[in-house]
Structure 1
Amino acid sequence: MADEVAQAQGPVQGRAWEVVRLIGQGFGRNEIARMTGVSTATVSRIAQRNGLSFDRTQTEKALKARIADLNLRQAGLAESLADRVAIAIAYLDASANYRDWAFASKAIGDLTQAYIRMKPQRDEGADLEDTKDFLVDLKKQLGAVRDDFERMHGVPFDSDEAKRIINQEDSSNDES
């Protein structure tokens, strides 16, 4: 069962038990490695030898949150660049000689290119996947509500009796 834990001597055994405990609490591999001071490969090996795996849904959620944070920061930088383009245009308009005009023109071009590169791109594929996931979850939730209703009232959800019960509940909620 726990070869890594059973074979280890001294403090390593304690760390192996700590790794097993942290995996059970849902921490990710990299985070466990940082917390315990062992390599990620060792964390993976301990998990494998103890029949444990890492919860990928938590990792996916954390990754999506990190990407969203980075996109927000990128949008902030892009907004700052847009402000600087406006300042460079003001310098161009106020230029008194060719050198100032050329400097402002170059700055406008460079800042505009940087803005275009920094502007967050919408990932329509990810948006579509998020929408699909939302709809699948909604379908499951609606199914659960339907099952709960049928279990509670003992009538099929799409029957006339169910409509009457729902209308009665709605009217009693309106009166409250």
Structure 2
Amino acid sequence: MRGRPVTQADHDQVAELHGQGLGRNAIAKAIRRSGKTVSEIAAQLGLSFDRGPTRVATEARKVDAKAKRAALALDLLDDAARLRQQLWQPADYVDHGGKEYFRVDWTMKEPTFADKLKLMQAAGIAVDRSVRLDQYDADPGVDAAKSMLGALAAGLGAAYDQLTQPAADGD
């Protein structure tokens, strides 16, 4: 038993929603028809749900995002270097008094130990985030290949050892 007949309104809605960039399943849901029916109507109208252009745009966005992460990773390393340099530079301090407001400004030859600790923590965080960004974009196939090559080398080494061992008595 077939469902309700396809109408001109269905054709018009498919054409309009397709023109808005909706996919087959989204159109089917919007007009309360099956995906198969939407595909048949689209074919009759000469419309395609080819996602090639979408795929290309998605890949371009991925490349752009990877470039931004690479730039950010470098910026984080620069930040870490600037923070580290502050460890050995004169440091300005300001103290605002207690109940009685007064201000005292002074400069120390280097930051206090507590401030050096904070600088090192901040630099460490910047380096860590930079490394994480690099790892995020690392090729996972490289690690798999290294692992496979390591296992292969170990296996070849074991085979070589067996072949070069002196024969046991009675062999």
For normalisation by structure 1, the TM-score amounts to 0.48
Larger Rg: 2
Q: Hey, which of these two has a bigger chunk of strand by percent?
A: 2
If asked which structure has higher relative contact order (CA below 8 Å, sep 6+), I would say: 2
